[in-house]
C-alpha cells in the first residue's frame, strides 16, 4: 500500500472493516430481534395478569353485594320463614340486581335443602357463605356449565331462616378478549369457555389440561399462540385463566429477518463500499484544498479558498490555517503601511526642508516689497487714483506672507518644545481668543469639558493652531449664527477633542479632498486651502488622527484624537 494514494488507502481500510463488522453484526441483530419479539409478547402476557385479576375480583364483589341485598329483602325473609317456594321464586325473579344476563338465583332453608335454584350440597352451601364459590356442572349433562355463586345467610326476627345466593354461569359470555389476547377459562380438568374461534376452541378443549399448563406455545388451527396460565383465587374448585396471544405476525417478522440476512448483508456491503469511497473523498478533498492554499500562500495569494470549518480535526486545521494566513496578511499589511508611512514621512521631510528654504528666500523679497509699497503709500497723495492699487498689492503680499508662514508651520518639527498639555485649557484659550468673532456671528458656544481629562505630551502652539483652525472653520460655516460645541473626553489610551457646528455641512463630493493642500470650499479669496492641510500634518506628526463626519445641511463634526503620549517628553521638562 506504499504506492497508493491517501484516498485509496482510506477506501480499502474502510471496506475491509465493513466486511469484518457488518455481516456478523447483521446475524447478531437477527438473533436479537427474534429474542426481543418473544420477550415483548411474554411481557404483554405478564402485564395482562393484573387487569384479569382485578376484573375477576370486581365480579366477585358484584355477586356478593347482590347476594347481600337479597338477604336483606323483607319479602325474601318472609318467604323463607314461611317456606313458600312459589312466592320465594317470584320475589327472587322480580329483583333484577346488577347482573343483566346469565343470572342464577338460589334459596335454601336452614337444613340445606334448596328451595329455588340449582341443587347444591350442604358442604358447598357452608363454604360459599360471605364469599363466592365455583360449582362444577352436574355429571352426565354435556350442556351444563359450572357456576360461580355468592351465598349469604338470611336472618329473620327469630334467627337464621335460610341462605340466598346469586351466581352466573361460567360460559363464553364471562370471558373476553383482553388487549388483543384471547382467553380460556379452566375449571378443574376442563376448559369450560374461551374467546377463540370454534375450530381453535375445539382443538384447545382436546388438549390435556395438565400438559397445557406447562406449555408456553400452542399450535391451534389457524394461528400459533403464546400462552400463560394464571390461577384465580376462589373458594371451592379454584379456576384458572389461560391467556393466549397470537404470535403469527412476530413469527412472520422473524422468518423474514432470517431470509433477508443475506440480502441485507450484500446491500450493507455495497453501502459500506460507497460510504468508504465518500469518506475517502471528504477526507482527501479538504487536505488537497489545504495543500493548494498553502502553495498559493507561498506565492503571496491570501484569498485561496479553504475547506468548510467543521468541528473535526480537519476543521480545526482549516481554522488554524485560516487564522495563520490572516495574521500573516495582517502583518504584511502593517509592514506595507509602515513602509508607506516611512516613505511619506521622508517625502514630507524633504518637502519641509525645501519649503523652509523657499519660504525663507521668498519672505525677504516680500518684506522688501512691502516696505517699498508702504513708502510709496506715505509719499503719495490721498486723492491719487492709483492709491487703491497700492492697497490691493499690500493685501496680496500679506496673503503671500501668511502662506509662507503656514508652509513653515507644516515643516516645523513638532517634537520641539513638547511638554504635558491640558487640552481643556487649550480649548478655553482658543475660544477666548475667538470670542469677538463668535459674538459678531451670533454663535452660541456649548462646552463639554471632561474635568478628569488626562494630560497629553504635545507641542502647545501646534495643538492650539489646530484647534484655532477648526474653530475658525466652524464659525465660517455658520455665517448666520448657530451652535458651536466643543467637547473633550478620554477613550482608553487616547484623548479626543470634538469640534461640532450646525452649519451647512460638507458635500459628499468635497469631503474626500478637505485635507488636501490648497483645496478650499470658501467663496472668493477668503481661504488659502492650507488650514486643514497644515492641521492634519500637525496631528499626524503627533501620531494622532484628525477625522471628520459631515452631512450636507446637518453640520460637521471634527474629531482630534491624540495618544496620551503623542511625543517623547524632553528630559529638561
388-421 in b/e form (b: 16+ CB < 10 A) is: eeeeebeeebeebbebbebbbbbbbebbeebeeb
Reply yes or no on whether the pLDDT at 203 is more than 60: yes
Dump pLDDT digits (tens) for 513-524: 787 766 676 654
The DSSP bridge pattern shows strands 182-187 and 190-194 to be antiparallel
- Nearest Cα neighbor of 170 from 151, 146, 152 is 146
Q: Do 164 and 106 meet the contact criterion of CB atoms below 8 Å apart?
A: yes
Q: Find the angle CA(57)-CA(61)-CA(67) to the nearest 5 degrees.
A: 145
What's the distance, CA 466 to chain centroid?
Answer: 53
pLDDT at 566: 55
Q: Do 174 and 58 meet the contact criterion of CB atoms below 8 Å apart?
A: no
C-alpha cell at 392: 490691493
Question: Which residue did the predictor score with more confidence, 213 or 112?
Answer: 112
- Nearest Cα neighbor of 360 from 415, 412, 413, 417 is 412
Q: Do 485 and 502 meet the contact criterion of CB atoms below 8 Å apart?
A: no
Q: 140 falls in which pLDDT band (50, 70, 90)?
A: low
The DSSP bridge pattern shows strands 147-156 and 159-169 to be antiparallel
pLDDT at 96: 53
* Structural domains of the chain, with CATH: 47-249 (3.30.450.20), 415-563 (3.30.565.10)
pLDDT at 529: 60
Name the E strands within 93-146. Answer: 103-108, 114-116, 132-135
Dump pLDDT digits (tens) for 307-357: 776 666 777 777 787 778 888 888 888 888 778 767 766 766 676 667 667
How many H helices and E strands in the chain?
Answer: 14, 18
pLDDT at 408: 63
Q: Do 410 and 402 meet the contact criterion of CB atoms below 8 Å apart?
A: no
The DSSP bridge pattern shows strands 482-491 and 443-448 to be parallel
End-to-end distance of the chain based on CA atoms, in angstroms? 77
| Sheet containing 223-231: order of strands | 190-194, 182-187, 240-246, 223-231, 217-220
pLDDT at 355: 67
User: Which secondary structure element, helix H or strand E, spans residue 185, and what is its range?
Assistant: strand 182-187
Q: How far apart, in whole angstroms, are the C-alpha atoms of residue 64 and residue 67?
A: 5
**Most confident region among 249-263, 340-354, 468-482, 553-567 by mean pLDDT:** 468-482
Dump pLDDT digits (tens) for 70-103: 888 888 888 888 888 888 888 877 655 444 455 7
Name the E strands within 2-80. Answer: none
Q: How far apart, in whole angstroms, are the C-alpha atoms of residue 477 and residue 5?
A: 73
Distant-in-sequence, close-in-space partners of 287: CB < 8 Å, separation ≥ 6: 6, 314
Q: How far apart, in whole angstroms, are the C-alpha atoms of residue 144 and residue 125?
A: 20
SS3 (DSSP) at 261 = helix
Name the E strands within 285-367. Answer: none
C-alpha cell at 114: 334448596
Map 481-525 to HEC letters: CEEEEEEEEEECCEEEEEEECCCCCCCCCCHHHCCCCCCCCCCCC
Model pTM above 0.85:
no
Dump pLDDT digits (tens) for 159-176: 888 888 888 888 877 787
Amino acid at each position: 500500500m506504499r504506492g497508493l494514494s491517501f484516498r485509496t488507502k482510506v477506501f480499502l481500510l474502510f471496506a475491509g472493516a465493513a466486511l469484518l463488522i457488518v455481516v456478523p453484526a447483521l446475524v447478531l441483530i437477527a438473533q436479537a430481534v427474534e429474542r426481543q419479539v418473544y420477550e415483548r409478547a411474554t411481557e404483554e402476557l405478564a402485564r395482562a395478569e393484573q387487569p384479569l385479576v382485578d376484573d375477576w375480583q370486581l365480579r366477585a364483589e358484584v355477586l356478593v353485594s347482590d347476594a347481600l341485598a337479597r338477604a336483606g329483602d323483607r319479602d325474601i325473609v318472609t318467604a323463607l320463614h314461611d317456606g313458600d317456594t312459589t312466592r320465594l321464586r317470584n320475589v327472587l325473579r322480580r329483583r333484577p340486581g346488577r347482573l343483566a344476563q346469565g343470572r342464577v338465583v338460589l334459596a335454601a332453608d336452614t337444613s340445606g335443602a334448596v328451595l329455588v335454584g340449582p341443587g347444591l350440597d350442604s358442604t358447598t352451601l357452608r363454604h360459599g357463605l360471605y364469599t363466592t364459590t365455583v360449582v362444577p356442572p352436574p355429571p352426565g349433562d354435556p350442556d351444563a356449565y359450572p357456576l360461580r355463586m355468592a351465598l349469604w345467610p338470611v336472618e329473620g326476627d327469630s334467627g337464621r331462616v335460610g341462605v340466598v345466593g346469586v351466581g352466573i354461569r361460567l360460559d363464553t359470555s364471562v370471558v373476553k378478549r383482553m388487549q388483543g389476547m384471547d382467553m380460556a377459562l379452566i375449571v378443574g380438568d376442563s376448559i369450560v369457555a374461551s374467546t377463540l374461534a370454534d375450530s381453535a376452541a375445539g382443538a384447545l378443549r382436546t388438549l390435556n389440561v395438565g400438559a397445557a399448563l406447562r406449555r408456553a406455545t400452542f399450535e391451534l388451527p389457524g394461528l400459533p399462540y403464546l400462552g400463560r396460565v394464571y390461577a384465580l383465587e376462589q373458594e371451592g374448585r379454584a379456576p384458572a385463566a389461560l391467556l393466549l396471544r397470537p404470535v403469527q405476525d412476530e413469527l412472520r417478522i422473524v422468518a423474514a429477518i432470517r431470509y433477508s440476512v443475506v440480502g441485507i448483508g450484500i446491500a450493507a456491503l455495497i453501502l459500506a463500499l460507497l460510504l468508504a469511497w465518500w469518506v475517502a473523498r471528504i477526507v482527501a478533498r479538504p487536505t488537497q484544498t489545504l495543500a493548494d492554499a498553502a502553495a498559493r500562500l507561498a506565492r503571496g495569494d491570501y484569498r485561496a479558498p479553504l475547506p468548510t470549518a467543521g468541528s473535526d480535526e480537519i476543521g480545526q486545521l482549516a481554522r488554524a490555517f485560516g487564522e495563520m494566513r490572516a495574521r500573516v496578511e495582517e502583518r504584511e499589511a502593517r509592514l506595507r503601511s509602515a513602509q508607506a508611512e516611512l516613505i511619506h514621512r521622508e517625502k514630507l521631510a524633504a518637502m519641509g526642508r525645501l519649503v523652509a528654504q523657499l519660504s525663507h528666500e521668498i519672505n525677504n523679497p516680500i518684506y522688501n516689497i512691502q516696505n517699498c509699497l508702504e513708502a510709496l503709500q506715505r509719499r503719495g497723495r490721498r486723492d491719487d487714483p492709483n492709491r487703491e492699487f497700492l492697497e490691493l498689492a499690500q493685501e496680496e503680499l500679506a496673503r503671500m506672507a501668511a502662506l509662507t508662514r503656514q508652509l513653515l508651520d507644516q515643516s516645523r518639527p513638532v517634537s520641539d518644545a513638547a511638554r504635558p498639555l491640558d487640552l481643556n485649557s487649550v480649548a478655553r484659550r482658543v475660544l477666548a481668543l475667538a470670542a469677538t468673532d463668535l459674538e459678531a456671528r451670533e454663535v452660541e458656544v456649548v462646552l463639554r469639558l471632561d474635568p478628569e481629562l488626562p494630560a497629553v505630551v504635545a507641542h502647545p502652539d501646534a495643538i492650539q493652531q489646530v484647534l484655532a483652525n477648526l474653530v475658525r472653520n466652524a464659525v465660517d460655516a455658520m455665517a448666520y449664527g448657530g451652535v458651536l460645541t466643543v467637547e473633550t473626553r478620554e477613550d482608553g489610551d487616547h484623548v479626543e477633542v470634538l469640534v461640532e457646528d450646525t452649519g451647512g455641512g460638507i458635500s459628499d463630493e468635497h469631503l474626500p479632498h478637505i485635507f488636501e493642500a490648497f483645496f478650499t470650499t470658501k467663496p472668493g479669496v477668503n481661504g488659502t486651502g492650507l488650514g486643514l492641510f497644515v492641521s492634519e500634518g500637525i496631528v499626524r506628526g503627533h501620531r494622532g488622527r484628525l477625522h471628520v463626519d459631515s452631512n450636507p445641511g446637518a453640520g460637521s463634526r471634527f474629531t482630534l484624537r491624540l495618544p496620551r503620549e503623542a511625543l517623547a517628553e524632553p528630559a529638561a521638562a
